[in-house]
Amino acid sequence: MTLLEGRRLSAALASVLLAGLFVLVAGPVPAQAAASSRLAAEGCSQKTDNRSSDNWTAAEWKICVGNYGGPNGEADAKCWAGQTIGWSASPCWISGQFEILKGGDVIKSGPFFLDVPLDGVVTSRPFRFTCQGYGEYTFRTSGAQATLYVTDKNGNSYARPGYQSARIADATATVTMC
């Protein structure tokens, strides 16, 4: 064995030993991540851009289900009004139906109504629920629509004239938690 081959062998042996140390040091991290994911698990739907049939009302919509601050479903929404050139943020009302399921069993359901201000909203208040043990939880929304509104000087709100409501695509979010 030449000196050069010996150095290569020593370098290879050192890299294997160092890799072993990294594996040993990194070993507990995935287990810790799994334990913490049980504490703060979240599953979300894709964000959708929903438009009225005349393309003058738009609503961004995404839902999540998770166990952050307690088990809940969460809606993330923002609405837009079409202009001659471009779009402007607009307050809107979003309403529809929701279900929260564990496995295939419905544990909470009903209608929902969200008042979405100009800067959008992320809310979990209407969708809190009690966990039914560890398992797969699903949050679904259906039949949702966004209606732009305006508020007059007396504080009365009404649907914005000249703008149709936008139907929001049904959404589903699932996560294993609790």
Judged on CB neighbours under 10 Å (0-12, 13-18, 19+), 178 is middle
Domain count, the chain: 2
Residue range(s) defining the domain that contains residue 70? 43-177
Q: Token pair for residue 65?
A: 């289900």
User: Are residues 94 and 168 in contact, defined by beta-carbon separation less than 8 angstroms?
Assistant: yes
In this prediction the pTM is 0.75
In this structure, are 106 and 165 located in the same domain? yes
Residue 84 to residue 162: CA distance in whole angstroms: 13
pLDDT in tens, 124-158: 878 899 999 999 999 999 999 999 999 999 999 99
In this structure, are 87 and 140 located in the same domain? yes
* Region 55-76 average pLDDT: 94
Cα 168–Cα 77–Cα 109 angle in degrees, nearest 5: 65
Task: Read off the pLDDT band of 96 (50, 70, 90).
Answer: very high
In this structure, are 141 and 154 located in the same domain? yes
